[in-house]
Amino acid sequence: MTPLTYNRLTAAVATGLFVILSVVLASFSNQRASDVMRQRPSTFFTDPSGARALLLVMQKLLPAAQTWRRPLTLLPLPQNRETSNTLIVAGPGKPITASEAQHLHRWLAAGGQLILLSSDGWPLHRRPNMNDEGAAEPRSTEDSDEVKTETFLSRYAPGLRWTKIGAFRTAQGSGSSLPPGEVTLRRRRSFARTDDAEVIATASNAAVAVSLPIGHGRIVAIADPTMASNGALRRSDNAVWLVTLAAGWGEGKVLFDEYHHGFGEKRGTGELIRAFLVTPWGWMVLQVAAAGIFYLFVYRRRFGRISEAPVPARASPLERVNARGGFFQSAGAQRLAAELIVQEVCRSLIKGRRKTFEGADLTDVLASCAPPGDGKPGARLGALLAKAQGGERLTDREFIELGAAAGDLVKGSRP
């Protein structure tokens, strides 16, 4: 296979993989989100299931509107103008705990307004009772049913009942909570029974909101949580009605409860990674990683050139010189030491030629390979070599001069 054919084949395969990946990502982006965190009104989403538009409207029209992402036990009581006096809870996904219900009751009695959009009354979360031995007390079937059906609204309006969910309906609304003029309300369900609760909003003669007074405050129970969704806000006057409810109470400061939608919980790294990987971008990252691993295994690519592990040095060069010098000193082999030094000098000066020299030729070889202009170190080195070869004993100072002259010759030959 020629390089041109190989490059064309590689480009064709890469183009095909790109087209397949684009089609897969497009199919994921066209699907409606199935995450349970995005199937109820929330101010963090701008899709049809969210209520961010309502928050933006209230931020422009009301003195203050923000989200609440902490347990309701930390909600400050509306005792001054600085605190919020309206809490909006739209389709909560988490049940309310007993401690939160108690604090919320005190908050309502102090003058707060709770706008609760719920189709089940907001269930209460209760722990099973424990006996003295630490085991759970057995409950009868009737007691279990009562615990399951107990809700926050059932404490104040046990007779509230909801109709079955149906298609969206838009009709003209009426009631004491609606602003003057023609106001249309869009909903999917209403209250089937209200008993003694005060009906403050109706649509097509069906009760969609009731008021439950509690101390100095009240609960506004709305039968359908989808009335705060973007789809309903866009096709009706639901936003006008909800803004009127919040503006007409206290100082008009509003909090949107996001804690019971799951946004107040701390998530671990693993859970965040899993939440990202199920998104279209996460699928793309997984596919790119799989393609990279496949490429590495198929082509056996290495990250860099093959290199052997470095062999650790057993001794430093200075220790090696001292060891050899001590050996020659103990043996008294001055002639051999001088000849080895001169041979190493000649090997450095004459590159690409023979590596060993006969002892009788060292003086002539040194004279022929010494660089011009360095006659003094070369002559001194030759004289000391001739003295050692003649059988005379060199002093320590002369040996130092011999090494210095050899070093000067090697240094002078380098460019």
- What's the number of CA atoms in the CB half-sphere (13 Å) around residue 310? 3
Cα–Cα distance measured from residue 163 to residue 89, given in angstroms and rounded to the nearest whole number: 20
For the CA atoms of 79, 85, 90, 93, the dihedral, rounded to the nearest 10 degrees, stands at: -10
Question: Quick one: pLDDT band at residue 28, thresholds 50, 70, 90?
Answer: low
For 111-146, the pLDDT digits (tens) are: 999 999 999 999 998 665 544 334 444 444 334 443
Cα–Cα distance measured from residue 335 to residue 342, given in angstroms and rounded to the nearest whole number: 11
Q: What value does the mean pLDDT of the chain take?
A: 79
Residue with tokens 């005379």: 392
Least confident window among 72-76, 222-226, 293-297: 293-297
Highest mean pLDDT among 23-27, 60-64, 134-138: 60-64
Residue 153 contacts residue 162 (beta carbons within 8 Å): no
Cα–Cα distance measured from residue 339 to residue 351, given in angstroms and rounded to the nearest whole number: 18
- What's the number of CA atoms in the CB half-sphere (13 Å) around residue 318? 0
* Confidence (pLDDT) at 24: 77
Residue 228 contacts residue 221 (beta carbons within 8 Å): no
Cα–Cα distance measured from residue 313 to residue 310, given in angstroms and rounded to the nearest whole number: 9
Higher-confidence residue: 388 or 226?
A: 226
Bridging pattern class, strands 253-257 and 217-222: unpaired
* Confidence (pLDDT) at 171: 93
Token pair for 315: 């001794």
Token pair for 355: 């590596």
CA angle at 170 for the pair 167 and 201, rounded to the nearest 5°: 110
Share of the chain above pLDDT 90, in %: 32
Give the bridge partners for 90, in sequence order: 117
E strand segments, 150-222: 161-162, 169-174, 184-187, 191-193, 198-203, 206-214, 217-222
Provide mean pLDDT across the span 195-209.
93
* Confidence (pLDDT) at 356: 59
The yes-or-no verdict on residue 357 having pLDDT over 70 is no
Question: At residue 97, what are phi and psi to the nearest 5 degrees?
Answer: -80, 165
* Confidence (pLDDT) at 399: 76
Question: At residue 189, what are phi and psi to the nearest 5 degrees?
Answer: -150, 170
Q: 30-58: string of b/e by CB count within 10 Å (b at 16+)? A: eeeeeeeeeebbbbebeeebbbbbbbebb
Cα–Cα distance measured from residue 376 to residue 361, given in angstroms and rounded to the nearest whole number: 20
* Confidence (pLDDT) at 374: 53
Residue 381 contacts residue 345 (beta carbons within 8 Å): yes
Bridging pattern class, strands 206-214 and 198-203: antiparallel
* Confidence (pLDDT) at 146: 39
Provide mean pLDDT across the span 86-91.
93
* Confidence (pLDDT) at 305: 67
Least confident window among 3-7, 113-117, 284-288: 3-7
* Confidence (pLDDT) at 130: 41
Radius of gyration (C-alpha) of the chain in whole angstroms:
46
How many CB atoms sit inside 10 A of residue 97's CB?
A: 17
Least confident window among 268-272, 285-289, 330-334, 370-374: 370-374
The yes-or-no verdict on residue 267 having pLDDT over 70 is no
Highest mean pLDDT among 22-31, 108-117, 398-407: 108-117
Give the bridge partners for 329, in sequence order: none
Q: Give the three-state DSSP class for 240.
A: helix
Highest mean pLDDT among 22-31, 319-328, 376-385: 376-385
For 369-404, the pLDDT digits (tens) are: 666 655 577 777 778 877 877 778 878 788 788 778
pTM for the structure as a whole: 0.55
Share of the chain above pLDDT 70, in %: 76
Token pair for 323: 């060891």
* Confidence (pLDDT) at 229: 87
Cα–Cα distance measured from residue 289 to residue 278, given in angstroms and rounded to the nearest whole number: 15
Name 43's Cβ contacts closer than 8 Å, sequence gap at least 6: 50, 51, 52, 54, 55, 67, 256, 258
Higher-confidence residue: 72 or 404?
A: 72
Higher-confidence residue: 43 or 378?
A: 43
The yes-or-no verdict on residue 46 having pLDDT over 90 is no
* Confidence (pLDDT) at 191: 95
* Confidence (pLDDT) at 36: 43
Question: At residue 172, what are phi and psi to the nearest 5 degrees?
Answer: -70, 135
**Alpha helical stretches, state H, 67-153:** 98-109, 141-149
Provide mean pLDDT across the span 14-24.
82
For 330-354, the pLDDT digits (tens) are: 766 777 777 777 777 777 777 655 5
Highest mean pLDDT among 29-43, 68-82, 339-353: 68-82
Cα–Cα distance measured from residue 122 to residue 72, given in angstroms and rounded to the nearest whole number: 14
E strand segments, 175-278: 184-187, 191-193, 198-203, 206-214, 217-222, 253-257
* Confidence (pLDDT) at 102: 95
H/E segment holding residue 68: strand 64-68
Question: Quick one: pLDDT band at residue 274, thresholds 50, 70, 90?
Answer: confident
